[in-house]
Each structure stands twice: as C-alpha cells, then as structure tokens.
Amino acid sequence: MNPTIQELIRRYRLEPLPVEGTLFVESYRSALELQPGRPAGTAMIGLYCEEPLSHSLFHRLTLDEVWHFYGGDPFRLLLLRPDGSTEDILLGPDPLQGHYCQYVVPAGVWQAAHLISGGLYALYGCTLSPGYAPDIFEGGTRSVLAAQYPSRAVDIERFACPDGETRMPL
C-alpha cells in the first residue's frame, strides 16, 4: 500500500463503510437532535483510492448531500436523476479545469463516485443537515438501476450494490 494512503487511513482512522464501500469516518455529529436519533447535522471524511479499493457504490438519500473536495486527485461523481437524465461531476483541485470544490446532490438522486484513473487518492467530505441516520439511505442494485438508465450500463455494472445489500445497518 502506498505510504501516503496508509498515513491518511491511520490519521483519520478510516474504516470501510457498509454497503456503499468507501473508506470513511464520521467526523462530526451534532449533539442537538431534531427528534430522537435525528442529529441536526453530520459530516464525514472519505478517501477514494485503488489500493485498498475504495469507491462509492450507487445509493440515494432522502436528504440533499453536500460533497467537498479536500485534497489529492480528482474524482468522478456519477448522478442518475429520477427523470432518467444522468450527469458526471468532477470534484478536484483545479476549478479552472472544470473541477468542483463543492457540489450538492439533491435528495432522491442515485449517486456513486470513484477516483479518476491514474490518480493516487482523493480526500473528500460530505455533510448533511439534518444529519445522517441509517434509514435515509438506499443502495442501488443492478436490477433497480439497469432498466431506467440503459445508457449507463457500464457504470451500473461496475458500481451497483450487490442484490440484497440496500440498507445500512442500524
């Protein structure tokens, strides 16, 4: 494993996220709860890399999610919208080359992400307000996504969640 990646994993205490597949750590959870089990806000730090393999499989949330680029190499955020349209967003270090440093994924949009080929790592974060709770997450399987987004068959094959693994553990 690359020493830089090893140090990032150690420094941030990154662990594999169930279902979705990325290395992450919850870095903030508001003590204020809007209702029991519903924090006012949450934040996480994630790392995309090839070794160990870390990418985000297709999933959608019932809340808007704000993505932030922190460092390293660009990554691609794949979006599959409810109306059938799709979009790729590049988050990365160079806004003059079209990279975003921040991007909001609206609630209900299927999303997946991965490091751009040839990159070493991408360090990023996501924030939610209200905050994350497991019941706002749904993983996207091939059987759910393939019929609605046939033009994205290659991405769906690569980044779909395994059938049966669509909910985060409580």
Domains and CATH numbers, the chain: 3-159 (2.60.120.10)
Of the candidates 46, 38, 36, the one whose C-alpha atom is nearest the C-alpha of residue 112 is 46
> What is the predicted pLDDT for the residue at 73?
98
Instruction: Please tell me the predicted confidence (pLDDT) of residue 95.
Output: 96
Residue 79: predicted pLDDT:
98
pLDDT recorded at residue 168: 80
pLDDT per position in the chain (170 positions), as tens? Answer: 999 999 999 999 999 998 888 999 999 999 999 999 899 999 999 999 999 999 999 999 999 999 999 999 999 999 999 999 999 999 999 999 999 999 999 999 999 999 999 999 999 999 999 999 999 999 999 999 999 999 999 999 999 998 887 888 75
Give the 3-state DSSP-derived string for the chain, with helices as H, strands as E and coil as C.
Answer: CCHHHHHHHHHHCCEECCCCCCEEEEEEECCCEEECCEECCEEEEEEEECCCCECEEEEEECCCEEEEEEEECCEEEEEECCCCCEEEEEECCCHHHCCECEEEECCCCEEEEEECCCCCEEEEEEEECCCCCHHHEEECEHHHHCCCCHHHHHHHHHHCECCCCCCCCC
* Rounded distance between C-alpha atoms, residue 12 and residue 22, angstroms: 13
pLDDT of residue 169: 73
